[in-house]
Amino acid sequence: MRQKRIICIWMVLVSLLGLMGCAGKEDLPRRNSESAEQPQGESQGEPESVYQAPAFADSAFHEKQAEGSDHAMVDLSCVNQGYVAVSATSANRLKFLVIKGDVTYNYDIDSGGTPSVFPIQGGDGDYEFQVMENVTDTKYAQVYATSCTVQLEDEFQPFLRPSDYVNYTKDSACVKKAKELAQEAGDALGVVSSVFSFICDTVTYDQEKASTVQSGYLPDPDETMSTGKGICFDYAALTAAMLRSQGIPTKMVFGNVSPDDLYHAWNMFYTEETGWVTAKYEVKGGEWNRLDLTFSANGTDLNFIGDGSNYSDVFFY
């Protein structure tokens, strides 16, 4: 089992993708140097320092602060914290559009009024939000629209919180497991390594689900963990939920992987920490690093992952 884990970990971070400078660095998780001294008699396998996760970053729909019509309400009260929330009712199918410039994120939302939360993944700037109702065939009509200017508290906020795509709470089983793993880690990279090893060892790819999954499917990270099965979307959501819950900024990425132009989901995480995390791979601090659990856990040939150039990032959640 140990050999399998090391191989999986080595495969996961072979490619590194540098993006964006760091903002709000003082809020990122750090090592606790005061815990570095090892008590006498304690196993040498214990971490020299103890990872300290920041306070749990949550998201919610605030009805009293939402604006809109009788059938559609949009909550913009937390856009600076990286997310927007919406609640709408209709007898027809509903969609919610998050628009910045020429980039539009198109989401299905519940038509019974259950609130949805989505990230503000385009960074600072002017956004438009639209609730759309299906009127005939594939045609939609606007029910409500609003706009605002976003100034994020820092660039990591959208990737530290729950959303419809990465759905978890403070009491989720996957969050409790992530906390358990984090308590045994010495730093943020140790948490990433432990979460990765856990998912590699416990979740397998669900071929049947992959062949029957319907449009509009949203993963349940706790279900993925309990059943031990999932598709790429499930892997990516579970990874993001576990790492985000421990204060590690994590993107869920959808895009295409060559040479077969496979539409796929994977993850990217951020950390300031540097150095060797475990055997066989090195992670650069201050950069986003590619994390693909589906291929790693299922023994995909390392050449398929390559140097990252065969990945084409399209959407971030």
pLDDT at 271: 82
Using pLDDT thresholds of 50, 70 and 90, give the confidence band for residue 90: very high
CA distance 310 to 97: 29
Phi/psi of residue 144, nearest 5 degrees? -160, 145
pLDDT at 267: 86
In whole angstroms, give the CA distance from residue 66 to residue 16: 40
Whether the per-residue pLDDT at 38 is higher than 90: the answer is no
Provide the β-strand partners of residue 230.
205
CA distance 79 to 57: 14
Sign of CA dihedral 48, 239, 313, 7: positive
Q: What are phi and psi of 155, to 5 degrees?
A: -65, -15
Mean pLDDT throughout 69-85?
97
Domains of the chain, CATH where assigned:
2-20+47-56+166-316 (3.10.620), 63-159 (2.60.40.10)
- Strands 229-230 and 204-205 turn out to be parallel
Name the residue with higher pLDDT: 19 or 215.
215
Q: What is the pTM of this model?
A: 0.80
pLDDT tens digits, one per residue of 140-189: 999 999 999 999 999 899 999 999 999 999 999 999 999 999 999 988 88
267 contacts 291 by C-beta, under 8 angstroms:
yes
Q: What is the pLDDT of residues 105-152, one digit of tens each?
A: 999 999 999 999 999 999 999 999 999 999 999 999 999 999 999 999
pLDDT at 283: 44
First to last CA, the chain: 32
Average pLDDT of the segment spanning 262-290? 59
- Cα distance between residue 230 and residue 203, in whole Å: 7
Better-predicted residue by pLDDT, 231 or 88: 88
CA distance 177 to 170: 11
pLDDT for 316: 83
Q: How confident is the model at residue 314 (pLDDT cuts 50, 70, 90)?
A: confident
Residue 247, number of CB atoms within 10 A of its CB: 22
Instruction: Provide the percentage of residues in the chain whose pLDDT is more than 70.
Output: 70
Q: Residue 77: its pLDDT value, please?
A: 98
For residue 293, pLDDT beyond 70 = no
